[in-house]
Amino acid sequence: MIRKRFIQLLLVLGILIVLPATGQETYSELQPRQVVLTWQSDPSTSMTITWRTDERGGQHTLRYAERLEISPLKWKTLEAETFTFEETSAWLHTVELTGLKPGKKYNVFIDHPEQPDLFYFQTMPDENNRRELVFLAGADSRSRRDVRREMNELAAAENPEFVIFDGDFISTALSEQQWDDWFDDWHEQMITADGRRIPVIPAIGNHEVDGSYLQPRENAPFYFHRFIAPEPRNYYVLQLSPDLVLVTLDTDHVTEITEQTPWLERTLEEHKDSRWKMVQWHVAAWPSVRDFEGRIPTKIRDHWVPVVEKYNVDIVIEAHDHAFKKTVPIRDNRRDDENGILYLGDGGWGAPIRDTKDPDDYWWLDEAVKIDHFWKFTLSSDGRDLQVDPVFRPAGSSFSLQR
């Protein structure tokens, strides 16, 4: 609705910018598509917006303003950095908006003469404007597109501030068609009813990488070029509110687990005063389906679990097994109801869903069920309470009915 009204306003004022084309491109080839919002720096004062066009075109710009009613001539204009890479036919355009005010809504207009993209986003709060935060975590959207689209719909309906997506977006790392489908769906669906685009906080999984494990960065061109996260993009930290920090790690896909351990320790030390600490990594250290003694789960338990325990991380998001999982609280390799860490997983946003181990037979499993799901978190405005609820497909279903 706001989009239509605003475009009409711009047309009346006759100020739509015509993109200077460099060749014989048609407008449709220069249409902004597959808009994705990520963060490279402080989520309370910045936002990164990335989109694709089919052809290079000339200058690609976006405009933004706090209020729609400000004269469009006064909207700030930013020129995108345009690039491509060898494995894609797309041209990508990315802009980082910085110096924003915390906890504010910003309207964005990606320029195009006929089909501009209009939406808004909201910066995360600082200590002066805390609000209740609803956010989601899920993973493994891979191959069943119809299910993925149902999950996207369920996710957007929760009106989340952002989505933590713990890897395995697609099945085939170098399939542009699969990535196009994923980004087309994200663009179309991950927007709220009133036009707010929902940022994604991505983690790398084995399916993002040609060769899956211990490969060079060049083997994951779509992940690294299309999700503009803080460098090096496969492991990073974001302070999402004064009360919540999220660390993202790479489970041996491009950077070795052991190489990230000192960084993880330093990062958690720097953020030790954050009331809530969460971490996401793709391969589950405490699997619901696969082998507990597997190479990567063992490596994670040896190198990362002692660090997240030392710094009292509250929740680790895991994935890769394609089943709903909640562990018991874990510390020192055993159940610890007082001081244990909760591991929530294991992905089910469209990937083939799997039969699980029986929780009665494995001490670390509290619940494990073959069901599509994501996790919903509600952090109270005073930052003291973090409510955790699974959301299942079909909507309203409950895991106890699926056993």
Q: Is 205 in the site for Fe ion (CB under 5 A)?
A: yes
Nearer to Fe ion, 277 or 320 (CB): 320
Q: Is 168 in the site for Fe ion (CB under 5 A)?
A: yes
CA 359 to CA 403: how far, in whole Å?
11
Nearer to Fe ion, 199 or 347 (CB): 347
Taking CB under 5 A as the binding criterion, the range among 199-207, 256-264, 271-279, 375-383 that sits at the site for Fe ion is: 199-207
Q: Is 208 in the site for Fe ion (CB under 5 A)?
A: no
CA 321 to CA 286: how far, in whole Å?
10
Strands 91-97 and 81-83: antiparallel
Shortest spacing between CB 223 and Fe ion, in angstroms? 13
Shortest spacing between CB 239 and Fe ion, in angstroms? 27
Shortest spacing between CB 207 and Fe ion, in angstroms? 6
Nearer to Fe ion, 158 or 346 (CB): 346
Nearer to Fe ion, 108 or 283 (CB): 283
φ and ψ at 259, to 5 degrees? -70, -30
Nearer to Fe ion, 108 or 317 (CB): 317
Shortest spacing between CB 282 and Fe ion, in angstroms? 6
Instruction: Tell me the residue number closest to Fe ion, measured at CB.
Output: 320
CA 391 to CA 398: how far, in whole Å?
8
Shortest spacing between CB 320 and Fe ion, in angstroms? 4
Taking CB under 5 A as the binding criterion, the range among 95-103, 182-190, 302-310, 317-325 that sits at the site for Fe ion is: 317-325
Binding residue for Fe ion, selected from 320, 322, 357, 376, defined by CB under 5 A: 320
| 272 DSSP β-pair partners | none
338 near 309, Cβ under 8 Å? no
Shortest spacing between CB 206 and Fe ion, in angstroms? 4
Is there a cis peptide before residue 216, judged by omega within 30 degrees of 0?
A: no
Taking CB under 5 A as the binding criterion, the range among 79-87, 160-168, 245-253, 331-339 that sits at the site for Fe ion is: 160-168
Shortest spacing between CB 290 and Fe ion, in angstroms? 10
φ and ψ at 162, to 5 degrees? -165, 165
Taking CB under 5 A as the binding criterion, the range among 23-31, 263-271, 314-322, 363-371 that sits at the site for Fe ion is: 314-322
Nearer to Fe ion, 111 or 372 (CB): 372
Binding to Fe ion in span 242-281, by CB under 5 A: none
Q: Is 393 in the site for Fe ion (CB under 5 A)?
A: no
Shortest spacing between CB 178 and Fe ion, in angstroms? 15
Type of residue at 156: A
Q: Is 202 in the site for Fe ion (CB under 5 A)?
A: no
Binding residue for Fe ion, selected from 50, 53, 178, 206, defined by CB under 5 A: 206
CA 143 to CA 72: how far, in whole Å?
42
Q: Which residues of the chain form contacts with Fe ion (CB under 5 A)? A: 168, 205-206, 320
